[in-house]
Structure 1
Amino acid sequence: MGRVITKKPEILAPGGTLEKLKTAIYYGADACYIGGEAYGLRSRAGNFDYPEMREAVAFAHAHHAKVYVAANMVTHIGDEMGAGEFFRTIRDIGVDAVLISDPALMDICMMDAPGLPIHLSTQASATNYQTLNFWAEEGLERVVLAREVGMEEIKEMREKTSVQIEAFVHGAMCISYSGRCVLSNHMASRDANRGGCAQSCRWKYDLFEQELPGLKTPVGADEEGISEKFSMSAVDLAMIDNIPELVEAGIDSLKIEGRMKSIHYVSTVANVYRAAVDSYCADPDHYEFKEEWLDELWKVAQRELATGFYYETPDESMQLFGKRRKIPHYAFVGQVLSYDPETQIAVIQQRNNFGVSDTVEFYGPGMRHFEQEITSLKDEDGQEIDRAPHAMMIVTTKVKQAVQPLDMIRKRK
């Protein structure tokens, strides 16, 4: 008799906006994490007001998914004002849990919004099983691990704790320990730990060697004295090759980073991890990794991919510097709004320029894909056009296979 997976891990996707949340759930996410209008670390994301949260929770619960709200800022005196009312309101809306790193906000949440589950944010840097047990004793339901934790450490945590474990498996990696960075504070007067990160680590820098006082030589300069540009940021995390070990380690929730990313990114990554997790959990003895999953992720990757801290301490090969070593080859161009099976006409909302003679790829949940050439295109008035150049323009075209609303379209650059 073959192995049976008794618990399938949750796929947790970013819900930067209401549209992104719905997209993530449509493409297979079991849960989404979002931000409110205060107390989070993504002040420039499309954060949710209370009516939007109600709609998000209603949509998620109707699709058997959950919604978590990030309130993981580090509070200075005064930042906690209004937090009690905030936690009570999101609890009453039906939010499934709140992510917190600051013990002050935890106390307020427990006191003013009893019954609202608390998950420890990755900002709190949980890296050992004693820490997990401490937070479990404090009443927390789940711990989001620091990204600096290795696979063997996770396995030991699972053996020695009962609290739920959530771990990042895909997306951008902060260059600082668990995201607790002050570069943005110093260089842009924007507090990264209170939602204002300017992503200073991703800026391009010149690096000089000072040989003599007043004499500086660019490091890595060419014959004309032009130097390479350096950044301080890391390549992206991707654990798609390692789904069996993630599941066997007992991780309860596989987290995808990217509340600031597009619906193209969210749909693609959720789709891939859904397919891989389902495939392994359905038949672990005969599981085979599919190269198409990795190929799919590269269609939205903006940086190289690596396994972060899971198996080793990252070295300089996991650092971004110099010219981009892998260029993204696809651009997101549209989303299907509706489809008429009798005429085979799809109504499309344009997101980037595309037109007649372009070969595009349609894709949808369940890893549905097909390519076709656009042979004709009409605007909303039914007039033939060569291209759809205007953002959010509504166009129609005939498609060779059936598509569904919320299916996506991209083209090779």
Structure 2
Amino acid sequence: MDAFIIADLGVLALAKKYAPQVGRHVSTRQALTNYEAAKVCYELGIARCAGPRAALTEIAQIRDNCPQDLGLEAFVHGAMCMSVSGRCLLSSYMAGRSGNRGECAQPCRWKYSLVEEHRPGQYMEIGESEDNGSYILNANDLCTAPFIDLICKAGVDSLKIEGRAKTFYYVASVVSAYRRALDAFLADPYNDSFELPDDVIEELNRTSHRHYSPGFYFGKEQAQQTPSHTYVRDWDFIGTVDSWENGVAHCTQRGKFAVGDSIEILQPDGSVVKLTPAWIESADGERMDATPHPMMQYTIPCETPLMAYSLIRMQKQ
């Protein structure tokens, strides 16, 4: 369904006037945390409200007190903004890059020290530990896959995955993981003993991320703080599959790997093929030991049929 995502009431009025046939959704930047605000949006012609990172009890309360045809959307995965609803101005002031326009420099992930005005250049640690310093605004990434059943039962209609400034590999991997999690819930939605398939978390660990937490869903105490600005990057995205025919995959290089390396291929349907290619050939048919050149075309043997647009990755050595 096509729709405008709106955070400004003036834009809402113009959308209703000039494009009444297009759906209208309220952006997370409206920070709707109570049902009275959500009901006002409904009365103004909003079809779906995208709330900020909130608690399960808050979502359930909004659902119970609003018209059933008002859709509710909730974040289920990705970075936790220190401003909750993404309206932080730090990046604009400190780096000249507006977070509200998708250009956030993420200054909340930076390491900060204390400086006294008459002692310039003397930086004093304000860290929680001697080793890690202080990242006073830095939160862990949100991951709700283990309790996706509770989010659905709270009345959420749409799951929101952070994808801004992310690679297409990240989006493909995370969306495929949540598709499997959601399908597992929908297969038996009245079962109170939801079991997340093991391969969901395995997939979510194959993208670059900070350490995971349940965010604010079970209270602010669970929204843990990351003790550094670093990411968990255990896997590399190394290529795409352009086509497959007669046991041979035609690929494009996005990262180097060598003959004998074990790789995985994530297909558009979410399935994963594990492979250790016995040979690599260049586009000219020359056998090679590795794929050293960016965007080079090459082929590898694979008995399993592969779908076009499949993504190739390899665990870091």
Structure 1 and Structure 2 fold alike (TM over 0.5):
yes
Q: Distance in 1 between matches of 2:112 and 2:58?
A: 37
Contact 1:172 1:258 in 2 (8 A): no
1:97, CA displacement in angstroms? Answer: 0.4
**One-letter amino acid of the counterpart of residue 173, structure 1:** M
Give the aligned partner of residue 44 of structure 2.
138
Runs of at least 4 residues of structure 1 off by over 6 A? none
**One-letter amino acid of the counterpart of residue 80, structure 2:** M
Give the aligned partner of residue 271 of structure 1.
176
Alignment equivalent of 1:102, drawn from 8, 16, 34: 8
> How many residues in Structure 1 have an aligned counterpart in Structure 2?
310
1:278, CA displacement in angstroms? Answer: 1.2
1:358, CA displacement in angstroms? Answer: 1.2
Give the aligned partner of residue 34 of structure 1.
none
Contact 2:268 2:307 in 1 (8 A): no
Does structure 1 residue 339 correspond to structure 2 residue 244?
Answer: yes
Give the aligned partner of residue 158 of structure 1.
63
1:307, CA displacement in angstroms? Answer: 1.1
1:314, CA displacement in angstroms? Answer: 4.1
Q: Distance in 2 between matches of 1:153 and 1:361?
A: 40
Give the aligned partner of residue 247 of structure 1.
152
Does structure 1 residue 114 correspond to structure 2 residue 17?
Answer: no
Moved more, 352-361 or 227-236: 227-236
Q: Distance in 1 between matches of 2:270 and 2:42?
A: 38
Alignment equivalent of 1:259, drawn from 164, 168, 175: 164
Q: Distance in 2 between matches of 1:221 and 1:123?
A: 31
Alignment equivalent of 2:89, drawn from 162, 182, 197: 182
**One-letter amino acid of the counterpart of residue 266, structure 1:** V
Contact 1:168 1:254 in 2 (8 A): yes
Q: Distance in 2 between matches of 1:287 and 1:255?
A: 21
1:377, CA displacement in angstroms? Answer: 0.6
Does structure 1 residue 320 correspond to structure 2 residue 223?
Answer: no
Give the aligned partner of residue 193 of structure 1.
100
Q: Distance in 2 between matches of 1:142 and 1:401?
A: 42
**One-letter amino acid of the counterpart of residue 207, structure 1:** S
* Highest RCO, 1 vs 2 (Cα 8 Å, sep ≥ 6): 1
Does structure 1 residue 217 correspond to structure 2 residue 120?
Answer: no
CA change 1:369–1:138 in 2 (3 A) is same
1:150, CA displacement in angstroms? Answer: 0.8
**One-letter amino acid of the counterpart of residue 84, structure 2:** Y
Give the aligned partner of residue 369 of structure 1.
272
1:335, CA displacement in angstroms? Answer: 1.2
CA displacement 1:232-276 (0-9 Å, x = unmatched): 322111100012111211210011101211122111111111111
2:281 aligns to what SS in structure 1? coil
Give the aligned partner of residue 173 of structure 1.
80
CA change 1:220–1:140 in 2 (3 A) is closer
Normalising by the residue count of structure 2, what TM-score does the alignment of the two structures yield?
0.90
CA change 1:218–1:191 in 2 (3 A) is same
**One-letter amino acid of the counterpart of residue 369, structure 1:** V
1:197, CA displacement in angstroms? Answer: 2.6
Within a 5 Å distance, the mapping from 1:32-71 to structure 2 comes to 66=1
In structure 1, runs of 5+ residues without a counterpart are: 1-65, 67-95
RMSD of the TM alignment (CA)? 2.4
Q: Which one has a larger percent helix, Structure 1 or Structure 2?
A: 1
Q: Distance in 1 between matches of 2:250 and 2:204?
A: 26
CA change 1:357–1:171 in 2 (3 A) is same
1:134, CA displacement in angstroms? Answer: 0.3
Q: Distance in 2 between matches of 1:181 and 1:219?
A: 23
